[in-house]
Structure 1
Protein backbone atom coordinates (compact mmCIF):
# COMPACT_ATOMS: atom_id res chain seq x y z
CA UNK A 1 0.00 0.00 0.00
CA UNK A 2 1.51 3.36 -0.98
CA UNK A 3 2.24 5.93 1.67
CA UNK A 4 0.43 9.25 1.20
CA UNK A 5 1.85 11.12 4.16
CA UNK A 6 5.20 11.84 2.54
CA UNK A 7 6.33 15.40 2.12
CA UNK A 8 5.68 16.50 -1.42
CA UNK A 9 6.98 19.58 -3.22
CA UNK A 10 4.46 22.39 -3.30
CA UNK A 11 2.49 20.96 -0.40
CA UNK A 12 1.09 17.92 -2.17
CA UNK A 13 -2.07 15.98 -1.59
CA UNK A 14 -1.93 15.73 2.18
CA UNK A 15 -1.62 19.46 2.76
CA UNK A 16 -4.38 20.32 0.26
CA UNK A 17 -6.82 17.76 1.66
CA UNK A 18 -5.97 18.77 5.24
CA UNK A 19 -6.59 22.42 4.37
CA UNK A 20 -9.94 21.57 2.77
CA UNK A 21 -11.08 19.21 5.52
CA UNK A 22 -13.08 21.90 7.31
CA UNK A 23 -16.40 23.21 5.90
CA UNK A 24 -15.58 26.80 6.88
CA UNK A 25 -12.31 26.63 4.94
CA UNK A 26 -14.12 25.18 1.93
CA UNK A 27 -16.61 28.07 2.10
CA UNK A 28 -13.70 30.53 2.20
CA UNK A 29 -12.19 28.85 -0.86
CA UNK A 30 -15.56 29.12 -2.65
CA UNK A 31 -15.62 32.85 -1.89
CA UNK A 32 -12.02 33.31 -3.06
CA UNK A 33 -12.84 31.55 -6.33
CA UNK A 34 -14.72 34.76 -7.23
CA UNK A 35 -11.62 36.87 -6.54
CA UNK A 36 -9.32 38.20 -3.82
CA UNK A 37 -10.85 39.41 -0.57
CA UNK A 38 -9.79 41.02 2.68
CA UNK A 39 -9.92 39.16 5.98
CA UNK A 40 -12.93 41.20 7.12
CA UNK A 41 -14.79 40.46 3.86
CA UNK A 42 -14.07 36.76 4.25
CA UNK A 43 -15.19 36.80 7.90
CA UNK A 44 -18.45 38.68 7.26
CA UNK A 45 -20.72 35.71 6.36
CA UNK A 46 -19.59 33.59 9.32
CA UNK A 47 -20.85 33.60 12.88
CA UNK A 48 -17.30 33.33 14.20
CA UNK A 49 -14.79 35.62 15.84
CA UNK A 50 -12.23 37.22 13.55
CA UNK A 51 -9.32 35.30 15.17
CA UNK A 52 -11.10 32.04 14.30
CA UNK A 53 -11.33 33.05 10.63
CA UNK A 54 -7.67 34.09 10.71
CA UNK A 55 -6.78 30.59 11.98
CA UNK A 56 -8.71 29.05 9.09
CA UNK A 57 -6.86 31.33 6.66
CA UNK A 58 -3.54 30.29 8.19
CA UNK A 59 -4.47 26.64 7.69
CA UNK A 60 -5.33 27.33 4.04
CA UNK A 61 -2.06 29.20 3.62
CA UNK A 62 -0.10 26.37 5.26
CA UNK A 63 -1.71 24.00 2.77
CA UNK A 64 -0.60 26.34 -0.03
CA UNK A 65 -4.19 26.75 -1.16
CA UNK A 66 -4.24 30.54 -0.61
CA UNK A 67 -1.66 33.29 -0.43
CA UNK A 68 -1.91 36.71 1.10
CA UNK A 69 -0.51 40.20 0.74
CA UNK A 70 -0.65 43.05 3.19
CA UNK A 71 -1.07 46.60 1.96
CA UNK A 72 -1.14 49.06 4.82
CA UNK A 73 -3.38 47.57 7.47
CA UNK A 74 -5.39 45.37 5.08
CA UNK A 75 -4.45 41.75 4.42
CA UNK A 76 -5.92 40.35 1.24
CA UNK A 77 -6.14 36.65 0.36
CA UNK A 78 -6.37 34.97 -3.02
CA UNK A 79 -6.30 31.39 -4.31
CA UNK A 80 -2.92 30.04 -5.37
CA UNK A 81 -3.04 29.23 -9.11
CA UNK A 82 -2.71 25.49 -9.66
CA UNK A 83 -3.07 24.67 -5.96
CA UNK A 84 -5.58 21.92 -6.68
CA UNK A 85 -3.69 20.36 -9.60
CA UNK A 86 -2.24 17.41 -7.67
CA UNK A 87 -5.57 16.73 -5.93
CA UNK A 88 -7.53 16.89 -9.20
CA UNK A 89 -5.06 14.55 -10.87
CA UNK A 90 -5.20 12.09 -7.96
CA UNK A 91 -9.01 12.17 -7.87
CA UNK A 92 -9.12 11.61 -11.62
CA UNK A 93 -7.04 8.46 -11.23
CA UNK A 94 -9.53 7.13 -8.67
CA UNK A 95 -12.46 7.19 -11.08
CA UNK A 96 -13.97 3.79 -11.88
CA UNK A 97 -12.93 2.23 -15.21
CA UNK A 98 -16.54 2.32 -16.48
CA UNK A 99 -16.68 6.09 -15.95
CA UNK A 100 -13.41 6.55 -17.84
CA UNK A 101 -14.80 4.43 -20.70
CA UNK A 102 -17.89 6.63 -20.86
CA UNK A 103 -15.66 9.72 -21.00
CA UNK A 104 -13.73 8.21 -23.92
CA UNK A 105 -17.00 7.33 -25.67
CA UNK A 106 -18.28 10.90 -25.18
CA UNK A 107 -15.04 12.29 -26.63
CA UNK A 108 -15.30 9.94 -29.63
CA UNK A 109 -18.93 10.92 -30.26
CA UNK A 110 -18.07 14.61 -29.98
CA UNK A 111 -15.19 14.18 -32.45
CA UNK A 112 -17.49 12.26 -34.80
CA UNK A 113 -20.16 14.98 -34.59
CA UNK A 114 -17.60 17.68 -35.41
CA UNK A 115 -16.34 15.66 -38.37
CA UNK A 116 -19.91 15.17 -39.63
CA UNK A 117 -20.65 18.90 -39.25
CA UNK A 118 -17.46 19.71 -41.16
CA UNK A 119 -18.52 17.44 -44.05
CA UNK A 120 -21.95 19.08 -44.24
CA UNK A 121 -20.49 22.55 -44.78
Structure 2
Protein backbone atom coordinates (compact mmCIF):
# COMPACT_ATOMS: atom_id res chain seq x y z
CA UNK A 1 0.00 0.00 0.00
CA UNK A 2 1.50 3.33 -1.02
CA UNK A 3 1.37 6.70 0.71
CA UNK A 4 -1.66 7.89 -1.30
CA UNK A 5 -3.67 4.77 -0.40
CA UNK A 6 -2.74 5.18 3.27
CA UNK A 7 -3.87 8.80 3.26
CA UNK A 8 -7.12 7.93 1.48
CA UNK A 9 -7.91 5.14 3.95
CA UNK A 10 -7.22 7.48 6.85
CA UNK A 11 -9.44 10.15 5.30
CA UNK A 12 -12.30 7.66 4.94
CA UNK A 13 -12.16 6.70 8.62
CA UNK A 14 -11.55 10.21 9.97
CA UNK A 15 -14.22 12.46 11.44
CA UNK A 16 -15.87 14.97 9.10
CA UNK A 17 -14.32 18.41 8.93
CA UNK A 18 -16.29 20.93 11.02
CA UNK A 19 -17.70 24.02 9.28
CA UNK A 20 -15.33 26.38 11.10
CA UNK A 21 -12.37 24.44 9.70
CA UNK A 22 -13.74 24.72 6.17
CA UNK A 23 -14.15 28.48 6.72
CA UNK A 24 -10.59 28.79 8.02
CA UNK A 25 -9.29 26.81 5.07
CA UNK A 26 -11.01 29.16 2.63
CA UNK A 27 -9.88 32.25 4.54
CA UNK A 28 -6.23 31.21 4.80
CA UNK A 29 -6.14 30.39 1.09
CA UNK A 30 -7.74 33.75 0.33
CA UNK A 31 -5.12 35.48 2.47
CA UNK A 32 -2.34 33.59 0.65
CA UNK A 33 -3.77 34.60 -2.73
CA UNK A 34 -4.01 38.24 -1.64
CA UNK A 35 -0.43 38.14 -0.37
CA UNK A 36 0.66 36.91 -3.81
CA UNK A 37 -1.34 39.69 -5.48
CA UNK A 38 0.24 42.28 -3.20
CA UNK A 39 3.71 41.04 -4.04
CA UNK A 40 2.95 40.98 -7.76
CA UNK A 41 1.55 44.52 -7.64
CA UNK A 42 4.71 45.86 -6.01
CA UNK A 43 6.92 44.02 -8.48
CA UNK A 44 4.87 45.41 -11.37
CA UNK A 45 5.37 48.97 -10.11
CA UNK A 46 9.09 48.36 -9.66
CA UNK A 47 9.34 46.91 -13.16
CA UNK A 48 7.51 49.92 -14.60
CA UNK A 49 9.89 52.33 -12.88
CA UNK A 50 12.93 50.48 -14.19
CA UNK A 51 11.52 50.22 -17.72
CA UNK A 52 10.65 53.93 -17.72
CA UNK A 53 14.24 54.75 -16.80
CA UNK A 54 15.48 52.69 -19.73
CA UNK A 55 13.10 53.99 -22.36
CA UNK A 56 12.08 57.50 -21.39
CA UNK A 57 14.25 60.55 -21.90
CA UNK A 58 15.26 60.94 -18.27
CA UNK A 59 18.16 63.29 -17.49
CA UNK A 60 19.79 61.03 -14.90
CA UNK A 61 19.86 57.23 -14.71
CA UNK A 62 19.26 57.24 -10.95
CA UNK A 63 15.88 58.99 -11.11
CA UNK A 64 13.38 56.97 -9.14
CA UNK A 65 16.06 55.02 -7.29
CA UNK A 66 14.63 55.94 -3.88
CA UNK A 67 11.27 54.54 -4.97
CA UNK A 68 12.96 51.34 -6.20
CA UNK A 69 14.74 50.96 -2.86
CA UNK A 70 11.54 51.50 -0.88
CA UNK A 71 9.61 49.09 -3.10
CA UNK A 72 12.41 46.56 -2.62
CA UNK A 73 11.95 46.86 1.14
CA UNK A 74 8.19 46.47 0.73
CA UNK A 75 8.74 43.36 -1.41
CA UNK A 76 11.02 41.90 1.25
CA UNK A 77 8.38 42.64 3.88
CA UNK A 78 5.76 40.91 1.74
CA UNK A 79 7.95 37.84 1.37
CA UNK A 80 8.51 37.74 5.12
CA UNK A 81 4.78 38.13 5.73
CA UNK A 82 4.06 35.32 3.26
CA UNK A 83 6.44 33.04 5.13
CA UNK A 84 4.56 33.73 8.36
CA UNK A 85 1.25 33.17 6.59
CA UNK A 86 2.45 29.81 5.23
CA UNK A 87 3.62 28.83 8.72
CA UNK A 88 0.20 29.79 10.05
CA UNK A 89 -1.38 27.61 7.39
CA UNK A 90 0.81 24.69 8.43
CA UNK A 91 -0.09 25.24 12.10
CA UNK A 92 -3.79 25.14 11.19
CA UNK A 93 -3.24 21.94 9.21
CA UNK A 94 -1.52 20.38 12.24
CA UNK A 95 -4.45 21.42 14.44
CA UNK A 96 -6.92 19.94 11.95
CA UNK A 97 -5.00 16.67 11.98
CA UNK A 98 -5.17 16.55 15.78
CA UNK A 99 -8.89 17.35 15.87
CA UNK A 100 -10.18 15.20 12.99
CA UNK A 101 -7.50 12.57 12.53
CA UNK A 102 -7.56 13.32 8.80
CA UNK A 103 -4.35 13.69 6.83
CA UNK A 104 -2.78 17.12 6.98
CA UNK A 105 -2.84 18.59 3.50
CA UNK A 106 -5.65 16.43 2.11
CA UNK A 107 -5.97 18.76 -0.86
CA UNK A 108 -2.37 17.85 -1.68
CA UNK A 109 -3.46 14.29 -2.45
CA UNK A 110 -4.88 15.33 -5.82
CA UNK A 111 -1.59 17.05 -6.62
CA UNK A 112 0.35 13.97 -5.54
CA UNK A 113 -1.86 11.71 -7.68
CA UNK A 114 -1.41 13.97 -10.70
CA UNK A 115 2.34 13.96 -10.08
CA UNK A 116 2.39 10.17 -9.85
CA UNK A 117 0.54 9.89 -13.17
CA UNK A 118 3.00 12.31 -14.77
CA UNK A 119 5.95 10.30 -13.44
CA UNK A 120 4.46 7.09 -14.87
CA UNK A 121 3.94 8.72 -18.26
CA UNK A 122 7.50 10.08 -18.22
CA UNK A 123 8.97 6.66 -17.39
Regarding TM over 0.5, the answer is no
* Greater fraction of residues in strand: 1
Higher RCO structure (Cα 8 Å, ≥6 apart): 2
TM-score scaled by length of structure 1: 0.30
Structure with the greater alpha carbon radius of gyration: 2
* Greater fraction of residues in helix: 2
